[in-house]
A and B are shown apart, each in its own frame.
Chain A
Amino acid sequence: MYGLKTDWLEEASPRYYSVQDYEGAPARWCPGCGDHAVLTAVQRLCRDEQLAPEKTVMVSGIGCASRFPHYMKTYGFHGLHGRALPVACGIRSRRPDLHVFVATGDGDCCSIGAGHWIHAIRYNMKMVVMLLDNNVYGLTKNQTSPTSAKGSCTNTHPTGSFLRPLNPIQTTLGVTNASFVAQTVDWNPPHLLATLQAAHAHPGFAFVRIMQRCPHFQPGLFDSAQNDPNELLLLTHTDGIEVEDSIKRVLKNQHEHDPSNLDGARELADREDAIPIGLLYQNGNADRYDQFTALGIATSRDEKMTAIRAELGRYRI
């Protein structure tokens, strides 16, 4: 029934969404998989922000991580391997009213979808992009990924991978118009949630790399980082990601970093002694391509007809 608006309903009885309102099919990831924690954090975020489920779209590619939309009760688009970002940009292009989230894997984003990744950063359309980085191809059963550490033993490189890994944070920082670059870990739920909240609040393309455990194919990958809080470097700043004092008490290895400092961000991204977590870079004033793609969005049918007639008129003989 086109034309029936729901606004008046909302006024009569405002809806309150609980976490259950965002829970879709039961998650089928392996027990202990880091993706579970990210799902929970996103559902919390939606609840905290009271995002209308019908106005929220989860977009993904293909991979374990990309199963994400199925486990939400929002709109979802579980598309093709590597192609989440163009789809998300297309959705965003003419629907500024929708909240767009992207869940992508390290193969999905940094390998097959790398071209789109670079351009989506540059487009800087408003959306939250979560790179669930388990340093491996999970769904296809243990192949080397662009982010696998050098020497990783996988089914494609049983004696150890040959190349140094690509650094997704450094890559993102290197793209013109990057506007929000953050890093967090799946095993610290408060920091994960706080990071996603900051990403959601950002007016542009918010890129969050999440270190994600894959106990099935990469058992122990993040064990030491998990067990030794000093292997994480907590970035602090008044413009950064606000975290509770309890986190600060545990993560004593801290670094005050102004997220407007791009060079500082690049230095941090290169640190090998600890994983920096928090906001590396933010620029709230970067150009946004979704302002261009929204051109003419409010054109009335009459205006359209006038424009079409005028255009035909140019070819009249």
Chain B
Amino acid sequence: MSQSATAEKDSNPSSSAGQSPGKERELPIRRVSEQIIEIVSDSGEGAQTAGTLFGTVCAKMGNGLWTVEIIPAEIEPPARSRAGASGIRIRFGSEPVGNMGDQADLVVAFNEQVLYSRIDTDALRRGTILLLDDRWASSEDPSTREAFEKALADFHVRGYDVREIPIHAETAKVVDNPRRGKNVWVVGMLCAIYNRDVALAKEEIRQLFERKRKGEKVIETNYRLLEAGHAWAMEHLDMRLDIRSQASDEPRVVMSGNAAIALGTMAAGIEVCSMYPITPATSASHFLAADFHKAGGVIHQAEDEIAAAGFAIGASYAGKTAVTITSGPGMALKTELLGLAVMAEVPLVVVDVQRGGPSTGLPTKVEQGDLLSSLFGQPGDTPNIVIAPSDHQECFEFVITARKLAESFRMPVFVLSDANLATAQACFECPEPSEDWLSPPVDQSEWQEGIPPFDWDAETGLSQRPIPGQPGGQFVLTGLAHDEESHIAYESAINQYAMRMRSHKLAALQKTLKPPAVYGDEEGDLLVVGWGSTRGAIEEAIDRIRADGIRAGALCLRFISPMEPGLSAIFARYRKVMTIEINYSDDPSDSLINDDSRRYSQLAMLLRAGTLTDVDCWSRVPGQPLSPQMIEEALRGRLEALK
């Protein structure tokens, strides 16, 4: 989706855009607390680049930020197709933003057809302002003209505030090929509408194109596109909004969740990231690819996910804690090796950026469908650690935590992110990296005589591992049932004991955890439990129902294996406990479904089993993040039933 304006015209940009400062209209600026805007286009028109650019400018001006990528299933779907929408949503506001929000306030569309995929996902409301490229009205192709007119009429019926604007025509005044250039023109326009700092936008443009190793000429052209869009909007649009930001001295960073995972990998001192490309996990490795070696690491693109896991386990066995990053189908392939890591107690960080399943499912879309398979996916009893970051900062931090846990507890640690976190850009306080986060140098000292390779502490199951190179530590790691010496267990009692040792590590870890904090009311009518990327939207929904006097709280679980302690006691303080998740569960109101047959969502199933509380659930798999509004409606529905 890289966009750059390569061809430029010789004419003076300001005159060609027909602008002079004198024509700009003085309009009052309206302050709002937040805005949701979208830029949608055919794929390859740079909407995502533009949105990221604009979002970064907002973040730099101190706004809270959350972006959502709108991705078509194909790399190059046909132009002007309903399913081919490519673009980005940008939610920015005075306060920190933790989710995508509800319907958009303003949508910029490069053609009318792609808007329908947004309409289908309920992204627009009555009154949404539509800034639509007018070029299709004068298309040479009568069927295009007709389609455009028809859609316009439909948009009016739907109550959108449609403005036809000359995106293509105005861009063409600056560059030869407006397809590569209108995205930056649009950023200029948005800067005018939202009173953004144009100098900041230029700075971002410079950084963007320098990263792409483009020359000064390309940067200059894009400056002119930005200025042209800005000038045109100042003259022709009657919208002037501003979103104040809270002044803060804390240095912040803005990035996607996958970038945060990549940075966390570096900051954890992990030396090997072994992967096989799979959406939506791959970009984490892209972020690492360029500079990982400067932080002492290497990326191995393996021949498949099985090999990726094997390679990581080999590296880790040799003393270099490794990470393998993948998504659901890759997790399935790694299963057997993950079981080996549990059995043979090899530290390993496994990042699963979840997407829609089962099978190939929805490759680019969000789902939280891998929770149970992470916990129980491997054959036999495989106690492992499962943690789930709920925002970008946690994406960064949890990799560091995971490495430490993997090494201390000598087991694989699964970090469950998802497509929502992976692709969303958001801000967080800039972490201050610490040397303590780095993995320690490989221990090559003499192994103490008489200590077996699995010197299990009889209570906690914890033990220290010998690393190749340590004299006297020689042992043969095996996936077969084994005793403390790692000798194949030929006696029946050994297996029971070894299983207990591996299981107790989780109990030992759980003992160090504190009960989780509740957001909102500490007791009352309703407790909503979630995990992972839904936290922001759940908390926003809780705010809304609490504003109506309902006493409700939200709980976001970061540790799922071992389960965070004290949950039964917390649950007992509410009349109703339910989970909100993005995975499938049966709808209890379906006629076929009854108490015996109802299949619960994944966390709900775990909580019911673990706490013996009648935990209800509401879960959906729309292939997009849950909006606060969807959650709010679900909660109100369930509360209604409670009356």
Contacts and interface: CB of A to CB of B under 8 A. Distances in A.
A196 interface: no
Contacts of A90: 272, 274, 300, 310-318, 322
Contacts of A59: 314
Given A6-B471, A79-B310, A309-B433, A316 B479 contact: no
A2 B445 CA distance: 6
Contacts of B475: 75-76
Contact of A95 (B292, B468, B480): B468
B33 to A, nearest CB: 20
A311 B310 CA distance: 29
A95 B469 contact: yes
A293 B184 CA distance: 39
Contacts of B302: 86, 119
Contact of B311 (A1, A74, A89): A89
A50 B507 CA distance: 45
Contacts of A57: 318, 468
A207 interface: no
B474 A87 contact: no
Contacts of B291: 307, 310-311
Contacts of A295: 293, 298
Interface string B339-360: 0100000000000000000000
Given A90-B272, A90-B322, A305-B433, A75 B474 contact: yes
B40 interface: no
Contact of B298 (A58, A87, A293): A293
Contacts of A228: none
Q: How large is the interface on B (under 10, 10 to 19, 20 to 34, 35 or more residues)?
A: 35 or more
Interface stretch (B88-96, B435-443, B559-567): B435-443
B307 A119 contact: yes
A44 interface: no
A115 B276 CA distance: 14
Contact of A299 (B259, B295, B300, B445): B295
A91 B317 contact: yes
Interface string A124-137: 00000000000000
A91 B435 CA distance: 25
Given A4-B446, A296-B295, A312 B431 contact: yes
Contact of A24 (B310, B468, B476): B476
Interface residues of A, number: 65
B11 interface: no
Interface in B292-308: 292-298, 300, 302-304, 306-308
B294 A299 contact: yes
B191 interface: no
Interface in A1-34: 1-6, 24-25
B253 A315 contact: yes
A73 B485 CA distance: 13
A94 B315 contact: yes
Contacts of B445: 1-6
A175 to B, nearest CB: 12
A70 B310 contact: no
A54 interface: yes
Nearest to A95: B318
Interface string A291-314: 011111101010111011111100
A301 B469 contact: no
Contacts of B102: none
Contacts of A309: 433
Interface string B469-511: 1111111111110000001100000000000000000000000
A52 B319 CA distance: 18
Given A94-B315, A95-B469, A316-B430, A83 B306 contact: yes
A317 B477 contact: no
A304 B269 contact: yes
B59 interface: yes
A88 B311 CA distance: 7
Given A54-B468, A299-B294, A309-B433, A69 B263 contact: no
Given A115-B307, A296-B298, A87 B427 contact: no
Contacts of B462: none
B296 A303 contact: yes
A93 interface: yes
A53 B474 contact: yes
A86 B314 contact: yes
A54 B473 contact: yes
A20 to B, nearest CB: 14
Given A55-B469, A119-B307, A304 B438 contact: yes
B314 A316 contact: no
Contact of B468 (A1, A2, A91): A91
A84 to B, nearest CB: 8
A42 to B, nearest CB: 14
A201 interface: no
A91 B296 contact: no
Contacts of B293: 295-296, 299
20 contacts: A2-B445, A58-B476, A76-B477, A79-B340, A83-B336, A90-B310, A91-B314, A93-B298, A94-B271, A94-B272, A98-B469, A116-B306, A296-B271, A296-B292, A296-B298, A299-B293, A311-B263, A312-B263, A315-B259, A317-B253
Given A1-B445, A57-B318, 15 more contacts: A69-B476, A70-B488, A78-B478, A79-B479, A86-B308, A86-B314, A90-B317, A93-B315, A115-B307, A293-B298, A293-B300, A307-B266, A311-B266, A311-B291, A312-B430
Q: 5 smallest A-B Cβ distances: which pairs?
A: A90-B314, A86-B310, A299-B296, A76-B476, A296-B293
Interface of B: 56, 59-60, 251-255, 259, 263, 266-267, 269, 271-272, 274, 291-298, 300, 302-304, 306-320, 322, 336-337, 340, 427, 430-431, 433, 435, 438, 440-441, 443-446, 466, 468-480, 487-488
Interface of A: 1-6, 24-25, 52-55, 57-59, 62, 69-70, 72-80, 83, 85-95, 97-98, 115-116, 118-119, 292-297, 299, 301, 303-305, 307-312, 315-317
